[in-house]
Chains A and B, each alone.
Chain A
């Protein structure tokens, strides 16, 4: 009986992603690329929560499949940056599990933001949205890096 309880405890406490070779996208949007570098063409766009199957790991990149698409995603797109609030460490980091993705839905989320906004009318979320739309196109970024003699990521 004691052994059985040990087994249950260990299994529930160490439960990670749905399978060891599956990860979920933790960023709002991202891309699977033909090669494992940022300047490589995009094969498929990825969205928050998408489940990807890991085929191989190449440094800071994962070679993954999603449906019929095979491509590379940077680890920061699929590994949650776990960190204890007011903690002293940087946290473990690790592949985001389905639990993490679903539990985050019950924490600080759009509903909380909406209630916070309605109670703080002086805040300028319109400008925040405007800033989040400011971005650089990949072609423009490539040209900027090249023109400035900088290193390709």
Chain B
């Protein structure tokens, strides 16, 4: 079949040496099937597959960071996050957006592929207003939208996954193939977690997430100045985190300059009302 396909592809070039006229209708049909299979084999990761990667990444993070159980505060963060997500270009993901708090004094936030966003107690404690909370969440939502977590997976892993997936015509994989796929899956989770926790995203990814965050904030009616305001305040205080919104690359100077140059017009109002409810929500936060 492979030789036949090669023969056919060559036939479409001026260097053709194959006698295509000799092919039967059945052979042509088989060639078409092969071409279709090749096309499918190059498919990107689907939204539902991204969702299962995201669940595994969250499970890994939650094995390290305990959940901070504060129902009222979690609900408040969820309401801010859901509002922002609805104003983003991707308001619906396969499993939806979910927001939860981690019981850690570290200042950090993590965007798991697919839409689960985890924010530490330490980061919440470092925020001064709902505008700043919205800025942090909008930045993380932007990483979800841009699929930056999935982009951290080594391309060779996905190629291997596609080879396994395409190795059987049956609707479901056999036990052996599933075991191989689980190994690839495990490696993929390692790639994403390493990027989220250790390496951080790349320069362009962070700058792009800032840009998208500004657009989301403005669309939702938040003051986008919350983003540079928070970045500057944390920089001045000399506090930060390894990953998430405080990735060390690019440096905060470059990020601040970029954010300020991209600042969208804002018609934000009622900030006082939002500040009041923010203060009420974080009052119960363990410091």
Interface size for A (C-beta < 8 A) is: 73
Q: Flag if A91 contacts B63 (CB, 8 Å).
A: no
A111 to B274, CA, bound (A): 44
Q: Flag if A85 contacts B150 (CB, 8 Å).
A: yes
Nearest chain A CB to B206's CB is how many angstroms away?
16
Q: Which of B48, B59, B157 contacts A124 (CB 8 A)?
A: B59
Q: Flag if A136 contacts B116 (CB, 8 Å).
A: no
A67 sits at the interface (CB 8 A): no
B67 sits at the interface (CB 8 A): yes
Residues 142-154 of chain B, each 1 if its beta carbon lies under 8 Å from chain A, else 0: 0000110011111
Chain B residue at minimum C-beta to C-beta distance from A31: B92
For residue A120, which residues in chain B have a CB less than 8 angstroms away from its CB?
A: 59, 186
Nearest chain A CB to B1's CB is how many angstroms away?
15
Assuming the A-B contacts A1-B23, A12-B36, A76-B90, are A107 and B49 also in contact, with contact meaning beta carbons closer than 8 angstroms in the complex?
yes
Chain B residue at minimum C-beta to C-beta distance from A84: B44
Q: Which stretch in B219-227, B232-240, B241-249 binds the other chain?
A: B219-227
Q: Flag if A103 contacts B40 (CB, 8 Å).
A: yes
Q: Flag if A107 contacts B58 (CB, 8 Å).
A: no
Q: Flag if A85 contacts B116 (CB, 8 Å).
A: no
Chain A residue at minimum C-beta to C-beta distance from B45: A85
Q: Flag if A135 contacts B98 (CB, 8 Å).
A: yes
Q: Flag if A112 contacts B273 (CB, 8 Å).
A: no
A118 to B67, CA, bound (A): 22
B75 sits at the interface (CB 8 A): yes
For residue B221, which residues in chain A have a CB less than 8 angstroms away from its CB?
A: 148-151
For residue B48, which residues in chain A have a CB less than 8 angstroms away from its CB?
A: 26, 48, 104, 108-109
Chain B residue at minimum C-beta to C-beta distance from A77: B92
For residue B173, which residues in chain A have a CB less than 8 angstroms away from its CB?
A: 106, 111
Assuming the A-B contacts A12-B35, A38-B86, are A27 and B161 also in contact, with contact meaning beta carbons closer than 8 angstroms in the complex?
no
For residue B150, which residues in chain A have a CB less than 8 angstroms away from its CB?
A: 83, 85
Chain B residue at minimum C-beta to C-beta distance from A2: B20
Residues 60-95 of chain B, each 1 if its beta carbon lies under 8 Å from chain A, else 0: 101100010000001100110011001101111111
For residue A83, which residues in chain B have a CB less than 8 angstroms away from its CB?
A: 44-45, 147, 150-151
A96 to B39, CA, bound (A): 15
Assuming the A-B contacts A151-B87, A153-B86, are A80 and B98 also in contact, with contact meaning beta carbons closer than 8 angstroms in the complex?
no
Nearest chain A CB to B91's CB is how many angstroms away?
6
For residue A9, which residues in chain B have a CB less than 8 angstroms away from its CB?
A: 12, 32, 35
A115 to B277, CA, bound (A): 44
A134 sits at the interface (CB 8 A): yes
A70 sits at the interface (CB 8 A): no
A123 sits at the interface (CB 8 A): yes
B194 sits at the interface (CB 8 A): no
Residues 120-140 of chain B, each 1 if its beta carbon lies under 8 Å from chain A, else 0: 000000000010000000000
Q: Flag if B83 contacts A147 (CB, 8 Å).
A: no
For residue A66, which residues in chain B have a CB less than 8 angstroms away from its CB?
A: none
For residue A148, which residues in chain B have a CB less than 8 angstroms away from its CB?
A: 83, 130, 221, 270, 273-274, 277
B26 sits at the interface (CB 8 A): no
For residue A27, which residues in chain B have a CB less than 8 angstroms away from its CB?
A: 47, 92-96
For residue A74, which residues in chain B have a CB less than 8 angstroms away from its CB?
A: 91-92
Pairs A–B under 8 Å by Cβ, sample size 7: A13-B39, A74-B92, A76-B91, A81-B50, A125-B59, A127-B62, A148-B130
- B residues with a Cβ closer than 8 A to A are 8, 11-12, 20-21, 23, 28, 31-32, 35-36, 39-40, 43-53, 55-56, 58-60, 62-63, 67, 74-75, 78-79, 82-83, 86-87, 89-96, 98-100, 116, 130, 146-147, 150-155, 157-158, 161, 165, 171-173, 178-179, 181-182, 185-186, 188-189, 219-222, 269-270, 273-274, 277
4 smallest A-B Cβ distances: which pairs?
A149-B270, A153-B86, A85-B158, A86-B155
